């Protein structure tokens, strides 16, 4: 049966640019989401480590709720629910971006918390003994070391977000999976567009993984 299948990639002449658009949209929303998620996650990690129990509760609740609910449900809430509360349409790109940012922020919060707690407590004590405030010591002494510790984990989070961005196709966001489904609907060719995006995803993820490996080895060498 497999040998009898008539493979047809002739659609590439007309629709090849769709895949390029999908790659651009996928990488664009993923990168923006991870960068924003890094800021959000760092702030939430501070809440999680706060000495004030109400702040710890807020940070913990955010992490547990986001990690405990499916990404697709969060996407539907941002895409369909948020405009109802705001009273205006936020657009598909904004909904996709906010969904990935909020979701990624919860995981990055735990990554950053672990990175900060991995820094020797003596670093903070030494900074305080030199007259530095706690916030200044955190910004100039602790956070730079924490970021270096968690860079490989942050890179892996970016890879995860790139793969999870395929879910955005269900609300019409024009990333890779959406483009493949568009081509399938226009040409009635079912499997070939999916094989192409599978190959594209593999190349993207494989390249990112190799770059992360190189960066991690350089960080170890500098240590």
pLDDT tens-digit readout, 26-80:
999 999 999 999 999 999 999 998 889 999 999 999 999 999 999 999 999 999 9
> What is the band of 223 on the pLDDT scale with cuts at 50, 70, 90?
low
In the predicted structure, residue 22 carries a pLDDT above the cut 80:
yes
The encoded tokens of residue 125 equal 């004590």
pLDDT at 164: 93
> What is the band of 2 on the pLDDT scale with cuts at 50, 70, 90?
low
In the predicted structure, residue 15 carries a pLDDT above the cut 80:
yes
The residue with greater pLDDT, 217 or 82, is 82
Name the phi and psi angles at 119, rounded to 5: -70, 135
Instruction: Return the CATH number of 17-222, one of 2.60.120.10, 1.10.287.110, 2.60.40.1240, 1.10.3720.10.
Output: 1.10.3720.10
> What is the band of 3 on the pLDDT scale with cuts at 50, 70, 90?
low
pLDDT tens-digit readout, 128-171:
787 777 878 887 888 888 888 888 899 999 999 999 999 999 99
pLDDT at 95: 96
**For residues 109-134, average pLDDT:** 83
pLDDT at 161: 96
Secondary structure of the chain in HEC code, one letter for each residue: CCCCCCCCCCCHHHHHHHHHHHHHHHHHHHHHHHHHHHHHHHHHHHHHCCCCHHHHHHHHHHHHHHHCCCHHHHHHHHHHHHHHHHCCCCCHHHHHHHHHHHHHHHHHHHHHHHHHHHCCHHHHHHHHHCCCCHHHHHHHHHHHHHHHHHHHHHHHHHHHHHHHHHHHHHHCCCCHHHHHHHHHHHHCCCHHHHHHHHHHHHHHHHHHHHHHHHHHHHHHHHC
The residue extents of the domains of the chain are 17-222
pLDDT at 222: 64
Mean confidence (pLDDT) of the chain: 90
In the predicted structure, residue 83 carries a pLDDT above the cut 60:
yes
In the predicted structure, residue 178 carries a pLDDT above the cut 70:
yes
In the predicted structure, residue 125 carries a pLDDT above the cut 90:
no
């Amino acid at each position: 049966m497999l040998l009898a299948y008539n493979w047809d990639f002739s659609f590439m002449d007309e629709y090849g640019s769709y895949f390029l658009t999908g790659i651009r949209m996928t990488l664009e929303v993923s990168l923006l989401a991870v960068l924003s998620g890094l800021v959000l996650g760092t702030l939430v990690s501070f809440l999680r480590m706060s000495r004030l129990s109400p702040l710890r509760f807020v940070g913990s609740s955010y992490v547990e709720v986001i990690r405990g609910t499916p990404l697709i449900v969060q996407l539907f809430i941002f895409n369909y629910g948020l405009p109802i509360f705001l009273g205006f349409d936020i657009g598909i790109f904004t909904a996709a971006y906010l969904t990935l940012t909020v979701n990624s922020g919860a995981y990055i919060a735990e990554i950053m918390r672990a990175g900060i707690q991995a820094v020797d407590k003596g670093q903070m004590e030494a900074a305080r003994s030199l007259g530095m405030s706690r916030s200044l010591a955190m910004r100039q002494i602790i956070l730079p070391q924490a970021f270096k510790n968690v860079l490989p984990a942050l890179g892996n989070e970016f890879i995860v977000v790139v793969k999870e961005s395929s879910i955005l196709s269900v609300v019409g966001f024009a990333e890779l999976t959406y483009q493949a489904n568009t081509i399938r609907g226009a040409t009635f060719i079912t499997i070939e567009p999916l094989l192409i995006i599978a190959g594209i995803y593999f190349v993207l993820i494989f390249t990112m993984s190799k770059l992360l490996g190189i960066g991690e080895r350089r960080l170890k060498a500098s240590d």
